[in-house]
Structure 1
Amino acid sequence: MRTTVLENKREYFRLDLKPPLCASMRIVLIDGQPKKTGSTSVCIEDIGAGGLRFISHLKFPESRRIILEFDSRICGQYYKFWGSVVRAEKKEEGIWEYAIAFYVDEPTRSKYITLFNQLAVKLYKFKQWGSCDICPKEEPMECLRSRC
């Protein structure tokens, strides 16, 4: 019998979001040049100080040259997160899952750690989201299909 050990390469704790967090996403930079694009709805499945994982009906390449912006309300405040796709995987026909690495300075990363710890306490200890943009459906793919 062969056993495969998967190494967790993450530096920071990730918060698994069930139901997922709704966010608006858009492209803000390509090769360092600002872009004005429309936005689309995505479902964030997990998030941490180093990045997030989301699903979308749009296909993006794995590239550090394209910077995406995510907007969402967490614990009553609106946040913007910037990052690039470091992993892309087709989940089913027309649905893609992405891993994003954030572009962030250390003071901002420290704020993210505090924010996500507060959210984790609300979710796991008190079983409440507070004022966050949660998906109306429990399953992210179902939520995404209902909005496409």
Structure 2
Amino acid sequence: MEQNQREHFRQVFQNPLCADMTIVKIKDNQIDAKRTKTCILDIGPGGLRFYTNLKLPVNPYIVLEFQTRIMGQILSLPGYVVRKIDTEEFHEYGVRFVLDEQQQMELSSLLNTMTIRMRRNPNIRSCALCDSKNRVACMREMEDSFLNKSASDSPSP
């Protein structure tokens, strides 16, 4: 039987939490990469699990940043991939945050508040929750939205 090795609790979402993800650092070099939409499946003070169509390596030298809204606050959460599960269409990753103790305590407090409120109402509006419970449908909606936006941003001939 597989044992949970996490140090912290995790908030698992009925509907994924939408986030923008980007690569911010490779080794000691800052990177300015485009953002892509992802679905956060669960989150805790130590990390998160997310779903994306991108193939990413398990590598502590590649730091990603996830930007999302929790309890009305826009959060930027840096971390690196520690686990990867490939599926037919999308990929699932586990991320360990790169936060100092103060940031981790603040995130923990915010997540505790969110967990308490979500027990009463799992669709709280102060969080960037996806409209779809199905993460594949959510990812397809995000891809379609991105493609439509890219097409409308392109100059006309």
Answer whether TM exceeds 0.5 for this pair: yes
Aligned to 2:6, the other structure's residue is in SS state: coil
Distance 1:128 1:119 in 2: 11
CA contact (8 A) 1:68 1:84 kept: yes
Q: CA RMSD in A?
A: 1.0
The Cα of 1:126 is off from its aligned counterpart by 3.9
Where do 5+ consecutive residues of structure 1 fail to align?
none
**Partner in structure 2 of residue 99 of structure 1:** 94
Aligned to 1:137, the other structure's residue is in SS state: coil
Does 2:13 align with 1:17? yes
Distance 2:17 2:122 in 1: 15
- More strand per residue: 1 or 2? 1
Distance 1:126 1:58 in 2: 32
Does 2:51 align with 1:55? yes
The Cα of 1:127 is off from its aligned counterpart by 3.8
Q: How many residues align?
A: 143
- More helix per residue: 1 or 2? 2
CA contact (8 A) 2:20 2:37 kept: yes
Where do 5+ consecutive residues of structure 2 fail to align?
144-157
Deviating above 2 A after TM superposition, structure 1's stretches of 4 or more consecutive aligned residues are 125-128
Letter aligned with residue 46 of structure 1: D
Match of 1:108 among 98, 103, 106: 103
Letter aligned with residue 33 of structure 2: T
Per the normalisation by structure 1, the TM-score is: 0.93
Per the normalisation by structure 2, the TM-score is: 0.88
The Cα of 1:128 is off from its aligned counterpart by 4.1
**Partner in structure 1 of residue 154 of structure 2:** none
Does 2:72 align with 1:76? yes
Distance 1:57 1:128 in 2: 25
